[in-house]
Structure 1
Amino acid sequence: MNWPSWPCSQLVPSVLIVGGQVKTEQEARIDELRKQIREHDRRYYNDAAPTISDREYDRLLDELKQLEAKNTHYITPDSPTQRVGGEPLDGFRKVEHAYPMLSIDNTYNREDLKKWIERCQEALGDPIDQDGTLPGGYLAEPKIDGVAINLRYEQGLLALATTRGDGSQGDDVTQNVRTIRSIPLRLQNSENTSIPEVVEIRGEIFMPNFEFERINESFSAAGQEGFANPRNATAGTLKLLDSETVAQRKLQFLAHGRGEVLGYESATQSEFLSALGSWGIPTNPLTKPCQGIHEIWELIQEFDTHRSNLTYGVDGVVIKVDPLDLQERLGTTSRFP
């Protein structure tokens, strides 16, 4: 039999063998598109260094939607197309926190800061020097004026998102949180840090100032009263029962802490934040290590000088003891870490 011949460029396989699993060409393209979109999300939200335009990004997402519509059996919960839920919710169920989400204690001047450092050192049994030096040092980061959230990942997949609530239990807002593109639906694999069996990531969901202004302008044009401030806008948006409306508002997220963690250990808060970055979780690039009251106070003044340049609201600076074992030894009061 004489077989017809085709140019090599036309010999495109319709089925690929990947890791012993048979995949069609469209399924393989779906995998590639998901990978590309997740990478572009990371570059945009984590690195603040996008490499494609919004139009190019939308083109990739549209292609993925079209392919998944033709291959509904291949749609997965962590696909970038699955951020917006289906039917509006009837309400929010209450969820008990594995570890309490406590408020942060406040200080308002350098003398209060000095007393807090002295209390830390006295509790640890370390000598108090004039500069307030602590073994392992501290971390300083802007206190974003947003809504505290706890993200629970199980086997790398976003399983639950809960608000702080009363500290012991909060509202399950998972369906709304899935619409926030800076929050990955699946943690990225890292060469240096394995993904934990369970990891709870705590941080702030917030509305950038420009988005707050856009929404209030739209309310004003419709003759409606807008939100008083970005924090109220964020809280109100997260409590909407329709995730499609939530998706239209450009909420963002930055991580700053941890809850329950199984299958991963870190010695310091800064090490944990570094691991979050490797998993695709955005953290605040303004977080800085510091040592002693003089350096801490200089950072506070520096933050205060530049806070007007930030694209989000800030209502202070959070100072944390960096070593996690020292955090455990210091413990908590009834309300504060």
Structure 2
Amino acid sequence: MTDTTTHDLIILGGGAAGLTAAIYATRAGIDALTIEQGAFGGQITTTDEVDNYPGIEGVSGAELGTKFQDHAENLGAKFAYDAISSVSFDEKESRFSLVGDEGTYQSKTLVYAAGATPRKAGFEGEDLFRGRGVSYCATCDGMFYTGKHVFIIGGGNSACEEAVFLSRFASDVTMIVRKDHLRAMSSGIRQVKQNEKITVRYLTSITRLEGETLPTSITFRDNVSGEEHVETFDPGSFGIFVSVGHVPQSGLVRDLVELSPDGSIVTDDSMATKTPGLFCAGDVRTKPLRQVITAAADGAIAATSSALFLGELII
């Protein structure tokens, strides 16, 4: 048997959105519990440097995430580490129930801020060599490719940022872009073009990665002609970083919300969903810009909306 605890608000997810919600909820005097299954801070902790968060210059993602958590803790926010396996809503009781490995949690309102996970590129051998030549986190694994060849799949903002970061370690960095242009902000594109260690292969895809314990060959496809060619390498001499976006982790509440075609959760401006008392915030939500500052804003709005819903705040 596991213990059951009851709260006014449960915040599921300890990234920028969830921690900001915890700060606002605590300041509003709400009995709130923030649940996270891994490290607090979320996706931002895998970013080497954050230089676009107002008022805080030259901070690492991990440091910024720690600042968020420390701020919430200093205010008296409550946290729990648990892997939640199901979320349900009792319409008659107007109550949410979350079941985890360590216990069951009930609440009148829920801020769902579960974030997103890296999207796979889909080439043959991607799963086989994950962690042995294939990575999804440049700041996590970049140092392991010091002096080696690095390929980055993707042409967006994150791919450009990772290319510049990885150029500090790798002997050379090649961006594999399926379209004929980079889909990034002008500052990111400029950094890529000015970096002598970075080259870009446009209209190209990776279709296959082969080898034994470690990969030794990459099959590239020309996206115009469809022709493929294979390039071979010494074992352990190269790595592939996948940077093609993220998958919203909306599965736990998919029956309680409206989903966009990409699986993200549709909310209104108050972060509300179709289920009364259920608010969503951060990268799991449908939005035009997924950045730490927009996640924090979502969290602030969601917690405030929860307080209004509970009658703890009057505007």
Q: Which range, TM-score by smaller chain? A: under 0.3
| The structure with more radius of gyration | 1
> Larger % of helix: which?
1
> Larger % of strand: which?
2
TM-score (structure 2 length as normaliser): 0.22
TM-score (structure 1 length as normaliser): 0.21
